[in-house]
Structure 1
Amino acid sequence: MDATSDAPESRYYQSQGLRLHFTDWGNPSAPPLILIHGGLDHARSWDHPARALRANFHVVAPDLRGHGQSAWATGSSYSLADHVYDLTCLVKSSGFEQVALVGHSMGGMVSLTYAGAFPQKVSRLVVLDGVTNFPARRVKPADVRIADWAGDLDKFAQRKIHRYASVADGAERILHRNPRLARAQAMHLATHGLKQNADGTYSWKFDPYLRARAPYRLSLEDHVELWSRIACPTLLVSASESFLPDPEKAGVLKHFKQAELAKIAGAGHWLQHDKPDEVLGLLKGFLDPPRS
């Protein structure tokens, strides 16, 4: 899966003074497609669909700030708006006029927000189990959010970084969280998700402060307004065994101009890993690259 001749190129760009990383799968003359991972994940989790889609697209996959090979944002609470701004910098620095976006989980929210704020920049949008705001959701009062956030920051300041004896031990942790994965998948995710420490142990690459949710966030009304501004064809993909609600039952679809829903049976939240071929089939059918 990681043959050197088949691996993407590592590239970097700047945003808010941070050095951010992305993988570039080549084919620059093709239409650009950006794959955006979810929280505590990394760009190389997209390797399976990226390899299959690069024949017709210029596929790039960023490591969001605080993840993978990207810099940690010291003192930042990693807001949705920061991730969206980073995406604008990636698009601009790459010279892309218009892009197709595929986002998973938090990456789906980044994609939805970007597409609503800059509808002219997005040609097609796919969100994999990533609608995390919905009409029935109850939001904590502002004072509670701030108190929770402050408590989390204090807790993470005292937290010791977990260390694994080997990459295989990290893979076991991933398998524990998602037993649907094949062991080879877990090893791939751990290989690219862990860094080696000076003492020879391994720790996750992501910044532990990513777990502290910013108390300042867009309201549900803000999200609904952004969804209504999305001009491109949109595919929302849900998983039958996800902890997130079904977008259709949650009343989300009515807020989009042209959105459709697909459901993946027998998959949890990480549906692109649980049912990779089914998800890839949906992506290929929906993205429908222009033929020369």
Structure 2
Amino acid sequence: MQKSEVQFDTETVVPPKKWVIFGAVIVILAISFGVFQLLSAMRQAPPQKQAKPVAPLVEVVPLSPMQVHFSIPSQGTVVAKTRTVLVAQVSGTIRDISPKLENGGFFRKGEWMATIDPRDYEIAVHEAQARLDAELARLQEAQAQAEQAREEWKLTGRPLDKAPPLALKLPQVAQAEASVAIARAGLERAQRNLEKTKIVAPYDAFVESVNVDLGQFVSPGAQLATIFSVDAVEVRLPVLEQDVPFLRPISEDAPVSVTLTADNGREVRTWQAVLVRREAKIDERNRVLYVIARLDDPFGLYGAKREAPLRPGLFVQAE
């Protein structure tokens, strides 16, 4: 008799653990949501109050018209108000030169600077004086002859106003007077030429450059030196065309102030100038109008207190 064998599968299917946890979470969330809905239904709504309007706090300030000033920036180079090239007015040799006649030397108005050899011009003065003396003597002689001719005419018994000019020697007197006038003018010319041999400063000035030396021969028109005044300096400032309407009128009663600033990398220096004039037309090339700012006594020689002199040639910013 054959025996049959029966085999049983001993493995049992068990659900994974993570699915158990996921199901528990879903159940808890469902219970929590139900409790939340129940409590919300049982809660009474708080009584509503009508909000009262709140007036905002404001401050009232009365308005009044006022002028607002703003600055217009610009820049330019400082120049002397007056700059002069001294030239010889007579010819000759430079005989004497002041030791201060060099770049940076300072001269007061009327102070001697140099001398052109005056000897020839002194001789010319003496000659002109001698000619004048001679013509004066001829005039006296002509006047004496004319007086004598009048007396002789009176002896004729005829009216003096009927006498012809030649009989009274009036043309000779007129000629002598003209000769005296010419001689006197010649003397004045000779004296002026002699004065021109002495070169003096026309105003208080610094020397910018010197073009002559001792013993040099110069002709009329030869440049001797270049000087510039110390009473004032000016700056030519460009203003854009669109800013021109905002410029205040230039008036001595209400001057327009200008602050000039120079920065040399170590310190910043400032000066207070004023606008003195504006040019007549707008520059056609760059469409700007130039205004002129002036600073009096830039070196502090006439009492102005200056921390630093404002020298010609310095580039400055302005506003």
Q: Shorter chain as normaliser: what TM range?
A: under 0.3
Q: TM-score, normalised by structure 1?
A: 0.20
Greater share of helix: 1
| Higher relative contact order, chain-length normalized (CA < 8 Å, sep 6+) | 2
Q: TM-score, normalised by structure 2?
A: 0.19
Greater share of strand: 2
Q: Which has the larger radius of gyration?
A: 2
